[in-house]
Amino acid sequence: MGLSVTLQSPDVGPVYLDYNATAPTRPEALEATLAAMRTVGNASSTHQSGRDAADRVHLARRQVAYLLSCSPGEIIFTSGATEANNLALRAAFAVGGRLVTSAVEHPAVLETAKALTIDAPGSLLTLPVDADGAVDLDGFHAALVAGGVAVVSLMAANNETGVLTDLAPIVQLAHDAGVLVHSDATQLVGRLPIDLAETDLDLLSLSAHKFGGPQGVGALFVRRGIRLPYRPLLFGGGQERGWRAGTLNVAGIAGAGAAAEAARLSMADEAFRIACLRDALEEALVEQVGDCRINGARNRRLPGVTSITFPGTPADAVLAAMPDVAASEGSACSSGAPSPSHVLLAMGRSREEADSTIRFSLGYATTAHDIERAVSSTVHAVRLVQEAMSVAS
């Protein structure tokens, strides 16, 4: 049965530039999810229906593993990156020692780290970042020299700015000191290559909906052979080798696998095309608005992300004045909360600058026409808000 999905923003609907919040579902993922939902069977059952469900999970595990260049047995399916981060940090911290992370991590890491270390004062070290969002490696090195570190958790790509972390030297330094390395790679996976056969991470978290899979499904990579105390979040059946009890979300997992495969096959072309569109968006905004600033160095960012500060122009007012563009203030997880972006503050921006920043995130279905529409709406909205503010002052 044929399925049709609207992947490109029609002129009548809003231009969707919020891929870092969630990407539109890829048609391959939709097909695989629906196909799995049309059949019955618990992946743990031993009869034919159960084996069919288990086959779908098996295929998806291989597809996700292939995307990461790891082995299928190293993938634990979860409800998303939040759960994967919780699981990873909980198990690694139980090794005993300090937990090191950075000031720009997603709340799924920062809040987990705080909760785990609440009864052990001094056991959490949060590394600062520079004005471009790069983690302070000297601080990391000093922490390793001081000793007693159990695990370091650093994100592969930042969800608000797209700034990339150069993981290879971090892994090297950490492993030389016998320290485990976890990376929240939620924003990187499916957008840029990651090769776990090369980059020797111990633990990695991902979420399917960021690369065109369904929401509510993700995975934790746990490198074979690493020694971790058994610390599940959920107790129950022995699914996922005891790491994650509960009936498997077969449909979601099947969709995650199909999305991983589609992303892997198109990644090289997509990354280049998306980076060109992102650059066009930035250049047009800089030229037409004049007074604006891009956060994070261009050559160290995800291809599809731009975080732009329009000084003195509140982002909430600008976004309200451009309802035909779906973009966001900082991250979706913190939007709605009155506090400014902790990421931009950590990069040395003022509260006012952080509140005047918009994140556009592009993806596989973004077109040149979308960018033209987004530029004209944004320029119009910024001018409107600036005029209203100058009249009011």
Q: What residues contact residue 220 under an 8 Å CB cut-off, 6+ apart?
A: 75, 76, 78, 83, 84, 87, 88, 203, 204, 205, 243
Question: Closest separation between CB of residue 233 and ligand PMP, Å?
Answer: 13
Residue number, 184 or 353, with CB nearest to ligand PMP: 184
* Six-digit token string for 194: 């990651």
Residue number, 41 or 296, with CB nearest to ligand PMP: 296
Question: Closest separation between CB of residue 7 and ligand PMP, Å?
Answer: 21
Residue number, 67 or 385, with CB nearest to ligand PMP: 67
Report how far residue 269's alpha carbon sits from residue 42's, in angstroms, rounded to the nearest whole number.
37
Q: Is residue 82 a contact point for ligand PMP (CB under 6 A)?
A: yes
- 310-349 residues near ligand PMP, rule: CB under 6 A: 333
User: Which one of 25, 33, 112, 207 is in contact with ligand PMP (CB under 6 A)?
Assistant: 207
Q: Which helix (H) or strand (E) holds 57?
A: helix 48-68
What are the Cα distances from residue 351, in Å, to 9, 60, 342? 33, 43, 9
Stretch that binds ligand PMP, among 8-16, 36-44, 96-104, 182-190 (CB under 6 A): 182-190
User: Which one of 81, 91, 305, 327 is in contact with ligand PMP (CB under 6 A)?
Assistant: 81
- 106-145 residues near ligand PMP, rule: CB under 6 A: 106, 108
* Six-digit token string for 35: 């196909």
Number of C-beta neighbours around residue 211 at 10 A = 27
Calculated CA dihedral for residues 10, 14, 15, 20, nearest 10 degrees: -130
Q: Measure CA 72 to chain center.
A: 21
Is residue 31 within 8 A of residue 254, CB to CB? The reply is no
- 210-229 residues near ligand PMP, rule: CB under 6 A: 218
User: Which one of 159, 161, 307, 334 is in contact with ligand PMP (CB under 6 A)?
Assistant: 159
Report how far residue 220's alpha carbon sits from residue 217's, in angstroms, rounded to the nearest whole number.
11
Q: Among all chains, which residue has been given the structure tokens 């923003």?
A: 9
Is 70 considered catalytic here? no
Stretch that binds ligand PMP, among 61-69, 183-191, 228-236, 298-306 (CB under 6 A): 183-191
Annotated catalytic residues are: 333
Question: Which residues contact ligand PMP by CB under 6 A?
Answer: 80-82, 106, 108, 155, 159, 184, 186-187, 207, 218, 333
